[in-house]
Every structure is written in structure tokens, then in C-alpha cells.
Amino acid sequence: MNTNSYEIIPIVLCGGSGTRLWPLSRKNFPKQFVPLIDGKSLLQLTLERVSYLSPHTRSNIICVASDDHRFLVAEAMSLAGVEASVILEPCAKNTAAAMGLAAFRAQPQDLLLFCPADHHIPDAEGFRAMVQQGCPAANAGAIVAFGVVPSFPSTAYGYIQRGLLNDDLHSSQVVHFIEKPVADKAQALILQGDVLWNSGIFLCQADVLLKALQQHAPDIFASCSQAMAGATREQAFIRPEPQALIACRSESIDYAVMEHHDKVVVVPFAGAWSDVGSWNAVADLTPSDAQGNRVDGNGLAIDASHTYIYAPDRPAVALGTNDLLIIDTPDALLVASRSHAEQVKTVVAELEVRQTPQALLHRKVSRPWGWYDSIDSGERFQVKRIAVKPGAALSLQKHHHRAEHWIVVKGTAEVTRGHETFLLTENQSTYIPIGEKHRLHNPGKTELEMIEVQSGSYLGEDDIVRLDDIYGRHFTEKIA
């Protein structure tokens, strides 16, 4: 088969909170942005994978993401070496709305490949062959689902029951979509021999999807139509009209369309695939020792069996353990039985009820200009480690309740303080009084790193009056 015979526009769906991978993944930094595989995020790997589907896909990708994650998406695009338009949702409305927004952005006959951003598919060539196999059916007006040949009776995935094979279109009619089953049901499904795991990857023409939405979910269709009709654009970012989308019903594409549509076919994929939906799935990506232990980072398993340790920073030792997950991060620790991996999301819900900050935020926070790490805090003080990318700058801002001391530990800082601008180099420092306008800029070609010591009566991130910002962020936004 000629794998370059069809032009495809990849639509990468970047939503999802990833709470089942807490504490590494959190609502403000979901799993698709976490560098999980060889230092790369799942989003970066997805962008790299889809960029080779056809000759022009590297510059034709569309991402659909939360407005809050726009700079994380932009960074992944840069690392993957692709260009993309990014549709920014003001709030999450599940896959039906996300796919509808992207379809309104495309031309009616465009072939759209909808891909979740958080899947791990190591065989890029096999993935491309699978997608091209689905193109004849998609061009004939079908919605093509891609199903993974199951390797065990999973209770974490939905299933697709397939019917007769259409040799001309290299696909089978979908008989039934099956929700995540209990263990006995999953075993029975596998024994049937006619089911596939539902990967959540779909291929169809733009107008086919929109007509299916209009038929089966007319309210979602109308909301997406109105939202994109009133959309605005700023460079790569496209913002749908917010009120239309806020009013939209939240529904998955499976419930809204696929279970009701009469022209859905499925193409099998026999390669390795994971939605990396739990810590057990992450553990399976790491080689095991003779006792079934898997260690990522600075972990040590002694007299242990079937224990997974994720410890990228400090040493973590498992002694005499069995069937455990140990996930260590700088500000939170998870120890769980492997049989309870799917219940981690209930832990996050409980932490949210208790208003525990670690449910939402990492200690280390990414920003478009770099990152900061809140390394210590106490009554009336906070210490941050700050890194600024070459050429980047924080907003011009001031604070009503705190003063700041800056100490440069690496690189060169250009400091604006009041009406003066000056340079600081390694081991030099400065003081920003309460109420003084200031900005930090890295004029060099290497990363700038500094320590910031805040002191004052209130140290919250919302004590910022932003006067100017090169990233176009709203002045009232509660970020530094």
C-alpha cells in the first residue's frame, strides 16, 4: 500500500485531567504534558508520530486544548518541530465538542484524524499503515474507528465488536460499542474473538462528522457552529466564542455519535498501544527484573516483588514489598496496591474536597518564559528557584503586599526596576520594594537561573498587577 496516497489533517485532542497518574500528573499539569517516555511528553510523541502521516502534515496539525495549557502545547509543538493551529477551549466539554470545533475549522472534504494526545504507540510506521488502511472507507463517507487487538481481558478499556469484513474498504462494520466491562465480562469478550479495544482514534471527512453531529447531537453541533463563527485568532491560537461553548453539553463522541450512527467501521491495529491511563500502565513501559520489580529513577527494591518505584529525585527504597506502586514527587507521595491503581482518581477528588493544593498544582510550575519551583515557605516568606529561557521575559508587574530579593546563580539577568534598567551576573543580587514596577529578562543565549526570596503580609500568586506582557496574557490572570 502506498502510505503517502492520502492527505490527512491530524486533530490532536489535548484535553483531559489525567488524575489517575497523580501525583505526577495534576489538573494544572495533566499527563499529556509530563515527560514520561525518554524525557519526552506523550503530547510531543503524538505530534511527532502524526507529523509523518502524509507529506504536509507537519504544518497542517490542529490541536484542541484548554486555554490554561496553551503555552504547554506551544512548547510541545516546538520540541516536536511541527506547526499547528491551536483551538483553545475556555472550559472542557469532552470529545464531541472538541472534535466538532476542529471539523468546523477544516474544509468539508478534508480527511481528519482525531487522536488523543496521551497515548503511547511506539511503532510509528505501523500506526501510519493503520491510518492509511482506513482512508478508503473514510473517503467513502464512513466514520472509521481504530481498534487495538486485545492482548488480555482489560477492564480499563472500552471494546468494539466488529462484524463482516469489507475487503474493498479494508474495514469491518461496527456491530456494537461496549463500555469498560467488569473482569468476567472482559474475559468473555476476549473469548468471542470478534472484539477490539476502543483506542479513541477516529478518521473521517470533516463534513461527515458535522452531519453526524447535526443528526445525533444537534445541540452540540449548534454550540460548536456558533462558537467557531465568533472565533478570534492570535498567531497560532484560535479562541472560539466563549459563551457558546460554555453553554454546550459535555458529552463523549462515543455517546453523542458513534453508538447511534449507522455508518461506522473499524480497522484493527496489532501493534503495541497504551492509553497510559494508570500507574500500572506506566509501570508496564519499564523493563522488569527477575522478581517483577520495575524501577524508574532513584529507586531500590530489596527482597521485593512486583513493585514499581517512580523516584526521579531522591532515593526511594522498597523493602520486602509485594504488588505495590510507589510514586515519589518533591511535594507528594503515593503508595498504593497495584490492584487499586484505577482508584487513584478518587484520592484526587478527596484531596480537592480537603482543599489540598497538591491536588491541582505541582511545586514546580511551567510558564511560557520558563519555570519556577517553590522550594520553601513559612510565615511571611517564600523562596522560589526561577529559570528563564534565553530571550524570554516575565511580565512588567508590581505587587501590593510583597517585596522580592533576587540572586542570580547562573546566566545574566536584565532587570527593570522602576525607571532604571541594569544587568546582573552570577552571584549578584537586587531588591524589589513593595509596589515597585519590575521585570526580569534573559538577554543571553543560555538559561538564566536565580533565587527569589519573597517577604510580606501576603504571598499569593494573585498579588500581581501586570502592566505589560509579551505573551499576551490577561493582566488579571493569576500567574507570575
Q: Look up the domain containing 455 and give its range.
A: 364-468
CA distance 335 to 324: 7
In the chain, what percentage of residues exceed pLDDT 70?
97
Confidence category of residue 385, pLDDT binned at 50, 70, 90: very high
C-alpha cell at 469: 506582557
**Position 33 in a domain:** yes
**Position 474 in a domain:** no
Number of domain units in the chain: 3
Confidence category of residue 53, pLDDT binned at 50, 70, 90: confident
Question: Per-residue pLDDT for 58 more than 80?
Answer: no
**Position 34 in a domain:** yes
Amino acid identity for residue 65 in this structure = A
In what helix (H) or strand (E) does residue 43 lie, and over which residues does it extend? helix 42-50
Same domain, 331 and 373: no
Check residue 300 and give its pLDDT: 97
Minimum mean pLDDT range among 51-55, 284-288, 448-452: 51-55
Confidence category of residue 2, pLDDT binned at 50, 70, 90: very low
Confidence category of residue 131, pLDDT binned at 50, 70, 90: very high
CA distance 399 to 215: 53
C-alpha cell at 474: 490577561
Write the DSSP assignment of 274-285 as a string of letters.
Answer: B---SHHHHHTT
Same domain, 386 and 299: no
CATH code: domain of residue 76: 3.90.550.10
Check residue 15 and give its pLDDT: 85
Check residue 474 and give its pLDDT: 56
Same domain, 348 and 369: no
Same domain, 314 and 418: no
Same domain, 399 and 418: yes
In tens, the pLDDT along 329-356 reads 999 999 999 999 989 999 999 999 999 9
Check residue 7 and give its pLDDT: 80
**Position 359 in a domain:** no
Same domain, 306 and 369: no
Average predicted confidence (pLDDT) for the chain: 92
Check residue 6 and give its pLDDT: 67
Question: What does the buried/exposed string (b/e) look like for 173-198 if buried means 16 or more CB atoms within 10 Å of the residue's CB?
Answer: bbeebbeebeeeebeebbeeeebbbb
Same domain, 325 and 179: no
Same domain, 243 and 337: no
Question: Per-residue pLDDT for 89 more than 90?
Answer: yes
Same domain, 197 and 119: yes
How many helices (H) and strands (E) would you count in the chain?
11, 28
User: By CB neighbour count within 10 A (0-12 exposed, 13-18 middle, 19+ buried), where does 367 fall?
Assistant: buried
Check residue 317 and give its pLDDT: 98
In tens, the pLDDT along 154-167 reads 888 999 999 988 88
CATH code: domain of residue 403: 2.60.120.10
Check residue 475 and give its pLDDT: 44
Confidence category of residue 235, pLDDT binned at 50, 70, 90: confident
Same domain, 198 and 101: yes
Same domain, 127 and 222: yes
Last residue of one domain, picked from the residues 353, 372, 392: 353
CA distance 103 to 228: 10
In tens, the pLDDT along 467-479 reads 988 887 654 433 3
Same domain, 219 and 345: no
In tens, the pLDDT along 166-211 reads 888 889 999 999 999 999 999 999 999 899 999 999 999 999 999 9
Q: Give the pTM.
A: 0.88
Question: Per-residue pLDDT for 1 more than 60?
Answer: no
Question: Per-residue pLDDT for 142 more than 90?
Answer: yes
